[in-house]
A and B are shown apart, each in its own frame.
Chain A
Amino acid sequence: DSGVTQTPKHLITATGQRVTLRCSPRSGDLSVYWYQQSLDQGLQFLIQYYNGEERAKGNILERFSAQQFPDLHSELNLSSLELGDSALYFCASSVNTHNAQYFGPGTRLTVL
């Protein structure tokens, strides 16, 4: 158990819908990262927050957004969902911006 929690574990929804994935980092970690893992693309970095501020962006679509709240938990919002958004979404956290990242168990999103 890495100490990173993610909810929900599974999410099934329809195209065009909007969902919110939630992540709580390890106690004491200030940095949160979101990743997408799909069969054909592997593990792809989406976005990073540090102490509430966005720090880096990766391959994140405009339909996706995220935020980190004052209590350091983070949410990833996915809107106008498409079939191709079906994937595992992982959150990771680290103490600061230059230390090992620890991953949560992931949320499996299925878009029908």
Chain B
Amino acid sequence: GESVGLHLPTLSVQEGDNSIINCAYSNSASDYFIWYKQESGKGPQFIIDIRSNMDKRQGQRVTVLLNKTVKHLSLQIAATQPGDSAVYFCAENSGGSNYKLTFGKGTLLTVNP
């Protein structure tokens, strides 16, 4: 029979360009957010996190922006490289003080050389 899978949003960029991956989260009470990168056959890899008392946080080549007004999170990757090709997930803490992460469906990023 036909397999049913998640239809992931996809983003295709050229090597060297900047990438922006967006995420709409569901719980207005969520106070902590994480971006993960998952390559095929591997576990999710922590990229960057942000708490709700901030609206921007920068890491190495990555920036996370948080807009609590519209419940929106974005991940910006500067100078995207072929090794950045993966599925990117945002996760929000929906468990209050005892963190329980709820993951989005993910975005497939493809970097073209």
Q: Which residues of A contact B (CB under 8 A)?
A: 2, 4, 33, 39-40, 42-45, 48, 50, 55-56, 58, 90, 92, 94, 97-106
Contact = CB atoms under 8 A, between A and B. Distances in A.
B4 interface: yes
B100 interface: yes
Contacts of B4: 39-40
A58 to B, nearest CB: 7
B105 A105 contact: no
A42 B102 contact: no
A39 B44 CA distance: 15
Contacts of A4: 43
What DSSP secondary structure best describes chain B's contact surface? loop
B106 A42 contact: yes
A108 to B, nearest CB: 8
B101 A98 contact: no
Contacts of B100: 45, 48, 56, 58
Contacts of A43: 44, 89, 103
B97 A98 contact: yes
Contacts of B45: 2, 103
Nearest to B94: A45
B32 interface: yes
- Going nearest first, the 3 A-B pairs with the smallest beta carbon separation are A103-B43, A39-B5, A43-B103
B84 interface: no
Interface in B1-53: 3-6, 32, 34, 36, 42-46, 49
B89 A104 contact: no
Contacts of B43: 2, 4, 90, 103-106
